Amino acid sequence: MSKNAYIHKVLPGSPGSALLFVFHGTGADENQLLSFGRELAPSATIVSARGDVSEQGAARFFRRTGEGVYDMDDLARATAKMAGFVKAHVEAAKPSAVFGLGYSNGANILASVVFAEPGLFDAAALMHPLIPFEPQVQGSLAGRRILITAGRRDPICPPNLTTRLEAYLRADGADVTVEWHDGGHEVRPNEIEAARRLFALSPVGEGVKKNG
């Protein structure tokens, strides 16, 4: 469990504020969502890791064998490594709350960590996730707020899989909101506003006790 398990950047926030972990999409890096995270959670400390897998030079958080076909062994490795990275930062910072935001491949690793460590994040925004498998949540998501954003014409993340993910999360007790738009894999303004609302309504400053 190391704060330096990944190449990463940190944007400091207000003392005692929330920690917001942001996870980039395939081919991007730790710079992609830093300013976006600051826009969404102005007082939070932003932590952004670079994926440690290269797919023909494009950074990712875990391997795949084709579009939408995941290397499940590598996903398990990446999930454990990322959970340890997040826990190390939480332990060091002792924040008021822990938030996560991921886009595309970043949303997928964030979702996988949520399944494995349901008590780790107080709120998570999954932007255009693709979960082509049935999650096995290791506990209860009761009290956790999760936003899923999606495009009705997304060629990468079929709407039926988004709806299925919503059902899985609700069944495990999560407070789930789904924000749709009529486009594809791009992020649109209504998604950004939904993410802003998610973090604004979450328990920042209430001294949330972390259990992981």
Residues in the chain: 212
Sheet holding 123-127, edge to edge: 8-11, 45-49, 19-23, 98-103, 123-127, 145-151, 175-181
185 is an active site residue: yes
Alpha-carbon distance 23 to 29, whole Å?
9
Alpha-carbon distance 48 to 81, whole Å?
14
Identify the active-site residue in 8, 43, 175, 185. 185
Identify the active-site residue in 104, 112, 128, 202. 104
Contact residues for 160 (Cβ-Cβ < 8 A; gap 6+): none
104 is an active site residue: yes
Identify the active-site residue in 17, 96, 128, 154. 154
Instruction: Provide the 8-state DSSP code for 44.
Output: S
Q: Which residue has the tokens 């932007």?
A: 127
Q: Catalytic amino acids? A: 104, 154, 185
